[in-house]
Amino acid sequence: MLISEKKFGFVIIDGTGTLWATLQGSAKEILQEISVMLPKKHGRGGQSAPRFGRIRLEKRLAYLKKIAEMTTKNFINSDNKLIVEGIILGGSANFKSDLEKGEVLDERI
């Protein structure tokens, strides 16, 4: 499927960073790559555990919104058209499913 002359976009996302790239035939191009330091799950108990959980979820949601905005910027041109035939999401199961099923990703994508 990827041997054709059609251009496909890739978004590889996990808790340490995201990569945007395109593949057309055997030519690959990395469009952008970012790193992120998201808080890990807090293993200690106490009254602050719910607060740490809320902070973690807020930062995760902000990260997903940023990824959605950058995906739009990388794969939609100035004429509001998708520059690739399709987009393949890869990486951590939680992040890619939250990005795909969430309401943060542009409907054109």
* Domain range for 39: 8-101
pLDDT, one tens digit per residue, over 4-33 is: 688 999 999 988 999 999 999 888 999 999
Let me know if residue 16 belongs to a domain: yes
Let me know if residue 84 belongs to a domain: yes
- Given a contact cutoff of 8 angstroms between Cβ atoms, the answer to whether 38 and 56 are in contact is yes
The pair phi, psi for residue 46, each rounded to 5°, is 105, 180
Let me know if residue 108 belongs to a domain: no
Let me know if residue 3 belongs to a domain: no
pLDDT, one tens digit per residue, over 32-70 is: 999 998 877 766 666 677 788 888 889 999 999 999 999
Question: How buried is 104 (Cβ within 10 angstroms: 0-12 exposed, 13-18 middle, 19+ buried)?
Answer: middle
When divided into structural domains, the chain yields a total of: 1
CATH of the domain at 59: 3.30.420.60
- Residue 19 neighbours by CB under 8 Å, 6+ apart: 10, 11, 12, 13, 30, 32, 33
Maximum separation of any 2 CA atoms in the chain, in Å: 57
Give the bridge partners for 12, in sequence order. Answer: 19, 90
